[in-house]
Structure 1
Amino acid sequence: MSVLEGEAWLRRIAADPAAGGHARSAAIENLATGPAWGGRDPVRIAGALRRGSDRGITIPGQLRLSPSQADSYARCPRQYALERRLKFSSGPTAHLTLGNLVHHVIHLTDDANDHPSVDDAISTLDEHWNGSDFGGPPWADAWYGRAREMLENLYEHRNPSHEVVASEREVALDAEGVRWSGSVDRIERRGSQLWIVDFKTSKSPARADEVARSIQLGFYVLAAQQDPDIARWGDITGAELWYPAVPQQRKAFATRQFNMAFLPEVRKTMAQLAADVEAERWDPVPGDACRHCTVRSSCPAVPEGQEAYIS
């Protein structure tokens, strides 16, 4: 039994009149001293509320989406509704903070240098590093090492024939009456071709067949193709995910390519996903990812989330 499952068990006893006074008092006492045995502070435990309607979250005619929101909805509509629409959050994690920092450093390095080097990237990292964001030493030292390793992998093996045309380029697309927008990490010129590159700081690359149909990369390609300023630079001929935290034997780091033949499928998927969000379909998708979900204490699909509601 996990700590959260134990907490849910205590809450059931505390709320059950048939459990008897002594058992209920003991359960309440244990809940009140949760931090002493690894449980949550009682002020963070949701009260018992009656289940309300799942509707009324999305305002008709005002829906705006991004590829990151699409990925979030595809993983679990319930988590998307709680985190993205209702803004439930326990705050940024160290992984998210590191990812944002590495992206920012790459953007600044590419913008400031025609031929960026490892030294340029590390200098920019040092300028913007704040160890307190990662809990101070020794934890911050470990996170700094991860950031530095990613930047070294990225810039040590940079192809000098690939020109960075744009960095953190904002793009947008209207699809079936819904406005989609996002930011392309990098657009590269490779000979006569333009390629879109998106950086991922995860140590676990997505499967190649998933990336081949990626909504995120597909959206970037579709939006870039209709952007007149980007069109003046040339035609978008490909898109990739780069994983600088995942070194490979024969190349600097892992990459995954989008299959341009799936662009029509991506457009259809975007339309269906937008329709599902507008229809407010928030069904949870239970699975292994639930163990790390930041809103599980408010989700009726898991034991501790069920305890937040009377029915």
Structure 2
Amino acid sequence: QAPSALRQAAAGQLSRLVAAGVRGADPAQWYALTELSDTGPIVPPGERVRLSPSQVESFARCGLRWLLESAAGAGQTDVLRHLGTVIHAAAVLISDGAAERAVAQRIDDIWHHLDFGSAWYGSRQRELAERMVRKFLAWHEANPRDLLATEQALRVRVGQVEITGRVDRLERDAQGRGVIVDLKTGGTAPRDEDLDRHPQLGVYQLAVLLGAFEELGITEPGGAELVQVGKAGFTARARVQRQRPLSDDPAPGWAKDLVDAVAAGMAGPVFRARVNAGCRTCPVASCCPVHPDGAQLSP
């Protein structure tokens, strides 16, 4: 839509850059004009597809973001990873019986090894960590269920799909069923009306049903919970978001169907971008065709 003279001038400048050997100047190198390097799937037919409950949630939200984060390593900043790791470690200490003072001392011991970019921000994050620990401690002390394991690994097969991962807490309710608890330290939370179809929690329950924790005497899922101790909690106490047991769902096979669909999608070869609530903070927005910063330009 630019005037003809401007287009001709731009073409001339591109020609000069091509002659000088500048990479990317030649339109023959523009990705919009090149053929796909490979149209085949990532996972060949018949081979096992490996996924985790968190990956199922990520892929269900946006297939393109999942691909770029898993293949290119784009994801959370180091600051967010540092804080989440510290809180999860503190939760394990509390679950093992450590007192609040001992947990605080342990956090102080390792805090100076973490890089938060500046002293003032590190101090602010330390205060946030203290609030999170207190929220979790209060929730833990009031929790009536039996704690069976923390940071428990899981690995189960269903068809050509292998589900692997690690649960923050595995608990047993009064009926002897397994309840998965996932500790969340972020600033966003799912809507309450979406919890019964929350992908990550559903896959955790499916893993219980498939025998991931048989050695601990757990074979039936009794639901799953998100325990929000970060800003998503909104209050001074932990916010608990519960998913009902799969057996109480009118469509108890929805988690298995989701795993099958996601596994087929992860195998490729097409990965679709989807507009969702996470677009605002997406680390790969500049590569996303549904985002203004990554929208494809037509030559």
Q: So what's the TM-score if we normalise by structure 1?
A: 0.74
Equivalent positions of 1:187-226 (< 5 A) are: 187-193=170-176, 194-225=178-209, 226=211
Q: Which residue of 2 aligns with 1:119?
A: 101
Q: Which residue of 2 aligns with 1:148?
A: 130
Residue 167 (structure 1) shift: 0.3
Judge conservation of contact 1:165–1:187 (CA < 8 Å) in 2: yes
Q: Which residue of 2 aligns with 1:95?
A: 80
Secondary structure at the counterpart of residue 197 of structure 1: strand
Does the C-alpha gap of structure 1 residues 234 and 20 become closer, same or farther in structure 2, counting only changes over 3 Å? closer
Q: Does 1:280 align with 2:264?
A: no
Does the C-alpha gap of structure 1 residues 68 and 94 become closer, same or farther in structure 2, counting only changes over 3 Å? same
After superposition, give the CA deviation of every residue in 1:19-70 in whole Å (9 maximum; x if it has no partner).
736xx79xx9xxxxxxxxxxxxxxxxxx943455374461221421111111
Structure 2 CA distance, aligned partners of 1:239 and 1:204?
A: 18
Q: Does 1:266 align with 2:249?
A: no
Letter in 2 for 1:195: V
Does the C-alpha gap of structure 1 residues 55 and 125 become closer, same or farther in structure 2, counting only changes over 3 Å? farther
Q: Does 1:175 align with 2:161?
A: no
Secondary structure at the counterpart of residue 142 of structure 2: coil
Judge conservation of contact 2:76–2:283 (CA < 8 Å) in 1: no
Q: Does 1:135 align with 2:117?
A: yes
Secondary structure at the counterpart of residue 147 of structure 2: strand
Residue 78 (structure 1) shift: 1.1
Q: Does 1:68 align with 2:75?
A: no
After superposition, give the CA deviation of every residue in 1:68-114 in whole Å (9 maximum; x if it has no partner).
11111111111111111x2242773422332222112222443xx3x
Judge conservation of contact 2:82–2:114 (CA < 8 Å) in 1: no
Bigger mean CA deviation after superposition, 158-167 or 50-59: 50-59
Q: Which residue of 1 aligns with 2:167?
A: 184
Bigger mean CA deviation after superposition, 210-219 or 266-275: 210-219
Judge conservation of contact 1:109–1:124 (CA < 8 Å) in 2: no
Judge conservation of contact 1:173–1:179 (CA < 8 Å) in 2: yes
Q: Which residue of 2 aligns with 1:163?
A: 146
Residue 166 (structure 1) shift: 0.2
Q: Identify unmatched segments of 5+ residues in structure 2.
A: 18-28
Residue 287 (structure 1) shift: 4.8
Judge conservation of contact 2:206–2:255 (CA < 8 Å) in 1: no
Judge conservation of contact 1:170–1:181 (CA < 8 Å) in 2: yes
Letter in 2 for 1:81: L
Structure 2 CA distance, aligned partners of 1:17 and 1:178?
A: 55
Structure 2 CA distance, aligned partners of 1:124 and 1:52?
A: 54
Q: Does 1:240 align with 2:222?
A: no
Judge conservation of contact 1:221–1:239 (CA < 8 Å) in 2: yes
Structure 1 CA distance, aligned partners of 2:100 and 2:233?
A: 16
Q: Does 1:299 align with 2:284?
A: no
Does the C-alpha gap of structure 1 residues 181 and 77 become closer, same or farther in structure 2, counting only changes over 3 Å? same
Q: Identify unmatched segments of 5+ residues in structure 1.
A: 1-11, 29-46
Residue 137 (structure 1) shift: 0.9
After superposition, give the CA deviation of every residue in 1:132-163 in whole Å (9 maximum; x if it has no partner).
42113101111111111111111134226543
Does the C-alpha gap of structure 1 residues 161 and 302 become closer, same or farther in structure 2, counting only changes over 3 Å? closer
Residue 257 (structure 1) shift: 0.9
Q: Which residue of 2 aligns with 1:255?
A: 240
Does the C-alpha gap of structure 1 residues 58 and 192 become closer, same or farther in structure 2, counting only changes over 3 Å? same
Letter in 1 for 2:186: S
Residue 192 (structure 1) shift: 4.9
Letter in 2 for 1:202: G
Does the C-alpha gap of structure 1 residues 238 and 230 become closer, same or farther in structure 2, counting only changes over 3 Å? farther
Structure 2 CA distance, aligned partners of 1:288 and 1:221?
A: 24
Equivalent positions of 1:18-37 (< 5 A) are: 18=7, 20=9
Identity across matched positions, percent = 23
Judge conservation of contact 1:82–1:295 (CA < 8 Å) in 2: yes
Letter in 1 for 2:121: W
Q: Does 1:83 align with 2:66?
A: no
Structure 1 CA distance, aligned partners of 2:228 and 2:120?
A: 25
Letter in 2 for 1:243: Q
Aligned length: 272
